[in-house]
């Protein structure tokens, strides 16, 4: 099955420009072209690339950050993490979620 460059970039968690660059520098498989010149990628090759060691080293990691300022907001923090996981699963193949339960500003304030 062939998919568009937009769908391929979404699956890999990279931009369309990045896919074009990877094809140009031979980092990624070359695309089949339609009569109109549009790129189409083989779905099984996309899955192979996603699971390869090369992919793990080649794609940057996305980092998501969740934070609340007090222990009273711990449930809010859990909800933030769930939403970030959903988003990252949909948009990135390689990500990490960091969370922080802070206690507000500790720097002295000037009047």
Look-up: residue for tokens 């790129």?
39
Confidence band of 110 (pLDDT split at 50, 70, 90): low
Least Cα distance to 97 among 62, 53, 71 occurs for 62
Residue 84 is predicted with a pLDDT of 93
Kindly name the residue from 15, 69, 93, 103 that is annotated as catalytic.
Answer: 69
pTM above 0.75, yes or no: no
Q: Is 98 exposed, middle or buried (0-12, 13-18, 19+ CB in 10 A)?
A: exposed
Is the domain defined by 2-58 classed in CATH 1.10.1660.10?
yes
Look-up: residue for tokens 């222990």?
71
Residue 77 is predicted with a pLDDT of 92
Residues of the chain with CATH 1.10.1660.10: 2-58
Catalytic site residue 103?
no
């Amino acid at each position: 099955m062939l998919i568009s460059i937009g769908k391929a970039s979404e699956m890999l968690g990279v931009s369309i420009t990045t896919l074009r660059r990877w094809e140009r520098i031979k980092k990624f498989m070359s695309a089949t072209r339609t009569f109109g010149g549009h790129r189409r990628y083989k779905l099984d090759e996309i899955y192979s690339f996603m699971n390869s060691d090369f992919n793990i080293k080649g794609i940057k990691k996305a980092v998501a950050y969740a934070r609340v300022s007090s222990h009273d907001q711990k449930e809010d923090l859990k909800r933030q993490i769930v939403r970030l996981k959903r988003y990252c699963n949909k948009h990135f193949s390689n990500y990490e979620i960091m969370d922080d339960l802070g206690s507000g500003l500790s720097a002295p304030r000037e009047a």
